Amino acid sequence: MEAVATDRARAWVPRRCEPEALRDRLLRCDPRGYRGACTAIAGTDLMAATATLRLPALILAGTEDRAVPPDLARETAQLIPGAEVVLLRGAGHVAVLDAPQEVAPRIGRFLSRIGHCI
């Protein structure tokens, strides 16, 4: 699990100089649970379920995301009427850790736009 945690932390937060916090969190996961989650995601057609969504959606995607590349984020957004896609330059898969100064205001503006107070 150590090698997986180190690799995922580096891949998911490429902008951060110290992905150790994410790595440590991953190391606290039960390896069987992590493996099970990966298996479930790999065998699930998320596009079919996504195509049924009809609520406002904000899709934040990192330009350096190796798990959900920008093209896949755009393709996903096209399945949801009116979905907004924002690409965060240099951010990875866990953009909230990689680019919190960009993520927080984007979410705030989105919530304001759809009528939710923050």
Kindly state whether residue 77 falls inside one of the protein's structural domains.
yes
CATH code, domain carrying 7 = 3.40.50.1820
Kindly state whether residue 22 falls inside one of the protein's structural domains.
yes
Residue 106 is predicted with a pLDDT of 96
Kindly state whether residue 21 falls inside one of the protein's structural domains.
yes
Q: Which domain holds residue 90?
A: 2-113
**Taking a C-beta distance cutoff of 8 angstroms, is the pair 1, 31 a contact?**
yes
How many domains is the chain partitioned into structurally? 1
- When pLDDT is averaged across residues 60-73 and rounded to a whole number, the result is 93
**Cα–Cα distances in Å, from 9 out to 19, 95, 98, 113?**
6, 12, 11, 33
CA distance 59 to 75: 11
pTM equals 0.79
Query: 79: which 2 tokens?
Result: 């399945």
**Taking a C-beta distance cutoff of 8 angstroms, is the pair 116, 92 a contact?**
no
Residue 25 is predicted with a pLDDT of 87
CA distance 59 to 109: 13
Digit-coded pLDDT (tens) for 6-62: 888 877 877 666 778 888 888 999 999 999 998 998 888 889 999 999 999 999 999
Q: Is the dihedral of CA 19, 96, 101, 12 positive or negative?
A: positive
Percent of the chain residues topping a pLDDT of 90: 61
